[in-house]
Amino acid sequence: MVGHGIVFHEVSHTYRPAKGREVLALDQISLEIKRGEFFALLGPSGCGKSTLLYALGGFQPLEKGSITVAGKSVTGPGPDRGIVFQNFALFPWKTVLQNVLYGLERQGRGKKERLLQAQQYIDLVHLTGFEKSYPSQLSGGMKQRVAIARMLAYEPEILLMDEPFGALDAQTKTILHEELIAIVERKPKTVVFVTHDVREAVLLSDRVAVMSARPGRIKEIVDTSHLNSRQPGLTQTIEFNAAVDHLWGLIRDDAKTARAQ
């Protein structure tokens, strides 16, 4: 299975700003993510979660170590990996449909095929009827649906999600959690999900890697696959809250350290 998944081997990265001191962001990260797994990176702000995700996406060159996907080294962005950011990153001058079409146009598909594919994913994220709307006319939750549809439309094998629901209110976040779970069930993907929300990590993930405060290291990997995200009232169960308590215990001291850095 490892050969078909994602492997981080002794990945380290130092930020070297033009002014100010160097910052060791990642320190000797070794990690394996199975194909088809929903994997969360959990840790305090500044622990290097996003840096690790961007390195996997091919946007952040590695200083030390290696990352492979299905046995092939990551040397830059690729169509096998799609990414969703916290700030949506939509084109404000494009409509919902035009935003979703963007990745398909870059693949060189025919116009009719592109339109059918884009509409399929707009329908999948429940934005039917908003195809001609612009981002400025949408709520935060709707914008994030567009970003998810745009990523899914060109059908990457791996979804990279950088705190995609972090800026949303609790009600919208809950709805999008349910929709993301449904989407991944309908169209199985490998998902690498960055969050600092312990409950979100437990709810969505098969496994959770807990990262230390900077420099980011893997403290522990916790298996949460026994928790059925479709179970009614899951968040009220003893098992769910025991997993939350365990993870919070792992990051509590590091969260305090991160605030002091």
Instruction: Find the CATH number of the domain harbouring 44.
Output: 3.40.50.300
Beta bridge partners of 55: none
Q: Are residues 209 and 238 in the same domain?
A: yes
Q: Are residues 237 and 173 in the same domain?
A: yes
Q: Are residues 217 and 230 in the same domain?
A: yes
Domain assignment present for residue 259? The answer is no
Contacts of 257 (CB under 8 A, 6+ apart): 44, 213
Q: Are residues 65 and 161 in the same domain?
A: yes
Domain assignment present for residue 62? The answer is yes
**Euclidean distance between CA atoms 195 and 43, whole angstroms:** 7
> What pTM does this model have?
0.90
Domain assignment present for residue 251? The answer is no
Give the residue from 155, 180, 203 where a domain finishes: 155
What is the number of other CB atoms lying within 10 angstroms of the CB of residue 167? 15
Domain assignment present for residue 27? The answer is no
Q: Are residues 108 and 197 in the same domain?
A: no
Are 69 and 87 a contacting pair, CB within 8 Å? no
Domain assignment present for residue 85? The answer is no
Per-residue pLDDT of the chain (261 residues; tens, 9 = 90+): 344 699 999 999 998 888 888 888 999 999 999 999 999 999 988 889 999 999 999 998 888 999 999 999 999 999 899 999 888 789 999 999 999 998 788 777 788 999 999 999 999 899 999 999 999 999 999 999 999 999 999 889 999 999 988 878 889 888 889 889 988 888 889 999 999 999 999 999 999 999 998 889 999 999 999 987 778 888 899 999 999 999 999 998 776 665 555
Contacts of 138 (CB under 8 A, 6+ apart): 96, 130, 146
Tokens of 214: 């900077």
Q: Are residues 172 and 217 in the same domain?
A: yes
Q: Are residues 75 and 160 in the same domain?
A: yes
pLDDT at 3: 44
Q: Are residues 111 and 227 in the same domain?
A: no
* CA-wise closest residue to 251 among 216, 225, 204, 205: 216
pLDDT at 98: 95
Q: Are residues 148 and 36 in the same domain?
A: no
Domain assignment present for residue 70? The answer is yes
Domain assignment present for residue 198? The answer is yes
Domain count, the chain: 2
Tell me the residue range of the domain where 218 lies: 32-80+156-243
Q: Are residues 183 and 57 in the same domain?
A: yes
Domain assignment present for residue 120? The answer is yes
Q: Are residues 47 and 162 in the same domain?
A: yes
pLDDT at 260: 54
Q: Are residues 147 and 186 in the same domain?
A: no
